[in-house]
Amino acid sequence: GAGVSQSPRYKVAKRGQDVALRCDPISGHVSLFWYQQALGQGPEFLTYFQNEAQLDKSGLPSDRFFAERPEGSVSTLKIQRTQQEDSAVYLCASSLRRLSGGFFEQYFGPGTRLTVT
């Protein structure tokens, strides 16, 4: 019955370090999304999984960003060689699969606040 969880909640990285952010979706949720929320801005889409398949990665800002969901449940967003502009809150959301003509709500986790110094 738990919601979407994310870890760590806060991460401080030195410029150039690699980081890995974890998302545990709601059990049984097929769809998983990653969003990036810069300070004072709305969330922006990064990537989308349906089960283990990454169906849309059009929002990933550079090839330093990589996401995976190997068993169709937990997902990891990895950022290599972090830069200051990567500082943001990274939000994960999950939903049931949307059937034709239907809609399923995205449930958001609390986010991971990444600060790159």
Partner 1 sequence: AQSVTQLGSHVSVSEGALVLLRCNYSSSVPPYLFWYVQYPNQGLQLLLKYTSAATLVKGINGFEAEFKKSETSFHLTKPSAHMSDAAEYFCAVSSQGGSEKLVFGKGTKLTVNP
DSSP per residue, 30-86: -EEEEEEE-TTS--EEEEEEETTEEEE-TT--STTEEEE-TTSS-EEEEESS--GGG
- The stretch among 16-24, 68-76, 78-86, 99-107 that binds partner 1 (CB under 8 A) is 99-107
B/e letters for 35-62, b = 16+ CB within 10 Å, e = fewer, are bbeeeeeebeebbbbeeeebeeeeebee
Question: Which CB, 48 or 65, lies closer to partner 1?
Answer: 48
Query: Does 43 contact partner 1 by CB under 8 A?
Result: yes
Query: Does 109 contact partner 1 by CB under 8 A?
Result: yes
Question: Which CB, 45 or 66, lies closer to partner 1?
Answer: 45
Residues near partner 1 (CB under 8 A):
4, 31, 33, 35, 40-45, 48, 56, 59, 91, 93, 95, 98, 100-101, 103, 105-106, 108-111
